[in-house]
Copies of this chain bind each other. A is one copy, B any other.
Amino acid sequence: MNRLAIIGGGSVGLLYAARLASYHEVTVYTKSKEQAIAINEKGIQIEENEQITVIRVKAAVISDGIAPCDLVVIAVKQYHLSSILPFLRKISPTTPLLFLQNGMSHLEIIDSLPHTYVFLGLVEHGALKKGDVDVTHTGIGTTRLCMYKEYHPIHKELLTNSTDSFPFVEEHDWHYTMIKKLIVNAVINPLTALYRVENGMLPSVAPFRQNMEQLFAEVVLSLGINEGKEYWASILMVCEQTAFNRSSMLRDIESERQTEVDSILGYIISEGEKRHVDVPLATFLYNSIKGLEKKQKK
């Protein structure tokens, strides 16, 4: 039984808080006072297969600071990381941190922290937040756990907590794992958001597939990857396995939320600049998604 701090009361934060509360003493740190009060009063109501379970956890407002604990799970979106940075800096450097962001852009922020023990987690779960304390576990995925800095025994404990409905898997090469996810996201997310189609439509409609191939070629070149066959195969596999899913970026656009395009295509574009690789499609798609975000707000 460890003391876990989970930062973020979004879909991922609530999901991990509810699932990890079976093994640990969990405190959720939220941005709003209202949400902290609601979680303390009602617990987290997690829905799966149309069944709702109430999980009791503690909650507090992040601006009050993070209490000493055995692991801090950072479950905010990449674009909110910088706003919680002051609170992360106050956490003891020997407390292990687990980051659950998409993309690669957060690594620079992580590198600026003084902490010794840092893990990365790639979240492949589907989760949908429906209210301050309500989250639906829409798809059981995996948490791919990577050691990013020094080893810490809590890493092993998380793997021991792995269950069929909330599995943890160890990945030994964090860079390869993150890059693979990034490439998959960079191709599937912006195209599905732009075309407003389910993932499976991309490879099955021939002209869409041609655009996938062009975009993929840019993405791997910008990352300095010469032989990309296995990455292409993993994109097709994800499209097939999640054929009827709407990507997170598409859902963000449809729900008029900010997307994670900065940490995905923004990263690709800056890597392309480093390597003097032209990325016209990535740039076009970046602007397209940015424009759609702005348009929704009008």
Contacts and interface: CB of A to CB of B under 8 A. Distances in A.
A207 B290 contact: yes
A147 B286 CA distance: 43
A283 interface: yes
Interface string A167-204: 00000000000000000000000000011010001000
B280 A205 contact: no
Contacts of A295: 195, 197, 201, 205, 208
A286 B287 CA distance: 18
Interface string A255-298: 00000000000000000000000001101101110111011000
A283 B214 contact: yes
Nearest to A213: B287
Q: Which of under 10, 10 to 19, 20 to 34, or 35 or more describes the interface residues of A?
A: 20 to 34
A33 to B, nearest CB: 34
Contacts of A291: 195, 205-208, 211
B205 A284 contact: no
A210 interface: yes
How many identical chains are in the complex? 2
Nearest to A210: B287
A207 B281 contact: no
Contacts of A287: 207-208, 210-211
Contact of A284 (B206, B211, B286): B211
Nearest to A211: B287
B281 A284 contact: yes
Contacts of A280: 214, 280-281
Contacts of A211: 284, 287-288, 291
Contact of A195 (B201, B207, B210, B288): B288
Q: Give the residue among A206, A281, A288 with the most B Cβ atoms within 10 A.
A: A288
Given A208-B288, A210-B287, A211-B287, 4 more contacts: A195-B295, A197-B295, A211-B291, A214-B284
Interface of A: 194-195, 197, 201, 205-208, 210-211, 214, 280-281, 283-284, 286-288, 290-292, 294-295
12 contacts: A194-B194, A194-B288, A206-B294, A207-B286, A207-B288, A207-B290, A211-B284, A211-B287, A214-B280, A214-B283, A280-B280, A284-B284
